[in-house]
Amino acid sequence: MERFGPFDDAFLIEPKRFGDERGWFEEVWNESRFQSLVGVSPRFVQDNASRSKAAGTVRGLHFQSPPMAQAKLVRCPRGAIYDVIVDIRHGSPTFGQWAGATLTEENGRQLWVPRGFAHGFATMAPDSEIAYKVDNPYSAEHDGGIFWNDPAIGIRWPFDTDAAVTSAKDRNAPRLAELPELFRHAS
């Protein structure tokens, strides 16, 4: 486990795998181990999954606003994704900064995304799947996002962004500068 990017409360976790001639075994969630590594013990209430057909598919950058804000534990059980978070907590010393990591079925990495971060990913292989746990249920009323390729944020996506496959919702999301103050950094 390591801190993720410049953020004190986001973590990249690499669960231990035990392999033999049959394949491998991995424990993807253990509450007490997570508590000892990250310092929080979330109560997950919903598991989500998506599959994207084409490499270069972008989903995000999404978040849920308070009081339905969500923390997420993200992994890629099939294929490969480039997973990205952006700090959208006003008053944070890292406001508007981003970090990205490659999550694949081979490396087994997981990303802990705290509340107050926008999250998105791009598929790096066809038929990639993402699975994630959240600590608050989905709320359409609190669903939000920022434009995935906002030049003010400057995410360096690992593919030709002109060929990205996106939804209309994600293409028309507001820029970071247009986002109201939804999250405040706890100083």
> pLDDT for 158-180, tens place per residue?
998 999 999 999 999 999 999 99
DSSP tag of 133: E
pLDDT of 35-52, one tens digit each?
888 888 889 999 999 999
Given a cut of 90, is residue 123 above it in pLDDT?
yes
Between CA 105 and CA 80 the distance in angstroms is 7
What pLDDT digit, counting tens, does each position of 73-109 carry? 999 999 999 999 999 999 999 999 999 999 999 999 9
CATH for 89 = 2.60.120.10
pLDDT of residue 35: 81
pLDDT band at residue 1 using 50, 70 and 90 as cut-offs: low
For residue 26, pLDDT over 90 is answered with no
Residue 35 tokens read as 């508590």
What percentage of the chain has pLDDT greater than the value 90?
79
Beta-strand runs (E) in 27-170:
46-52, 58-64, 72-78, 80-87, 89-90, 98-104, 110-113, 117-123, 128-134, 143-145
Mean pLDDT, the chain, rounded, equals 93
The boundaries of the domain holding residue 43 are: 2-184
Report the residue count for the chain: 187
Total Cβ atoms within 10 A of residue 78 = 15
Give the total number of structural domains in the chain.
1
What does the alpha-carbon distance between residue 36 and residue 117 come to, in Å, rounded to a whole number? 22
Which of 82, 90, 119, 132 is the catalytic position?
132
138 catalytic per annotation: no
Alpha-carbon distance 105 to 128, whole Å? 9
Alpha-carbon distance of 113 to 12, in angstroms, equals: 9
The number of angstroms, rounded, from the C-alpha of 70 to the middle of its chain's C-alpha atoms is 11
Catalytic residue among 62, 90, 138, 142: 62
132 is catalytic: yes
| Three-state secondary-structure class, residue 171 | helix
